[in-house]
Amino acid sequence: MTDTHSNEPGQSSFRCNRRGFIKGMGLGAMAISLECAAPRKVQAEEIREVKAGETLPVSLQVNGRSYRLLVEPRWTLLFVLREKLGMTGSKEGCSRGECGACTVLIDGVPRYACLTLAVEAQGSAIETVEGVMHGEDLGPVQEAFLQEDALQCGYCTPGQIVAAEGLLRADPNPDDQAIRRGMSGNLCRCGAYDHIARAVKVAAKRRSS
């Protein structure tokens, strides 16, 4: 099927059939797709593959201090804290985010350091159990744990204290249900849960006074 315009002065002749129309549309779409693909190609070329064992520079803010070091992309925050920075308060328990012994605060929120890569933590404020002390003095949560005997073997205690600190920052006066929910990510093999719950209540009163 053709469409013919008159070839009068001042007008141009135009002839188009179905095949020509589809062919023209196909070429136009191809040109658009090539134009859109160009920026993505440039971005792909900027991605650099990191080889196994290669280290990258990172800057970590831990307990109010800045640390700059070289880390492998696969290293967890827990590994870097313990093995590279010497902060052994955070414990390695299950290494799969179940026990909570490695709990730290990242921007005030409790997080498992064993499931957080060190490179992920750049630009965030990291606090370990060492950071909740007041100089050489224990913080209110630590004092409450001692007062209420909220520990037995003590291995889970650093993570419990940090989790309680994060809970009380978010909710300064939690009820029993809020305490159980806030501390549920931290396990105690010794079963000192009642003492831990009481310690959190005492710590809440100490922080508010």
How much is the mean pLDDT over the chain? 85
Identify whether 91 is part of a domain: yes
What is the model's pTM? 0.75
**Residue-level pLDDT at 13:** 47
More reliable by pLDDT, 43 or 128: 128
Q: Which of 147, 154, 183 is nearest to 166 (CA)?
A: 183
Residue 152: pLDDT over 80? yes
Residue 6: pLDDT over 80? no
**Phi, psi at residue 105, to the nearest 5°?**
-100, 130
For the chain, the domain total comes to 1
Distance between CA atoms of residues 123 and 117, nearest Å: 13
Identify whether 137 is part of a domain: yes
How many Cβ atoms sit within 10 Å of the Cβ of residue 105?
A: 22
Identify whether 33 is part of a domain: no
- Split at pLDDT 50, 70, 90, the class of 25 is low
Identify whether 40 is part of a domain: no
CATH number, residue 131: 3.10.20.30
**Phi, psi at residue 56, to the nearest 5°?**
-125, 145
**Residue-level pLDDT at 24:** 55
Yes or no: say if 100 and 163 are a contact pair by the CB < 8 Å rule.
yes
In tens, the pLDDT along 73-90 reads 999 999 999 999 999 999
Residue 34: pLDDT over 80? no
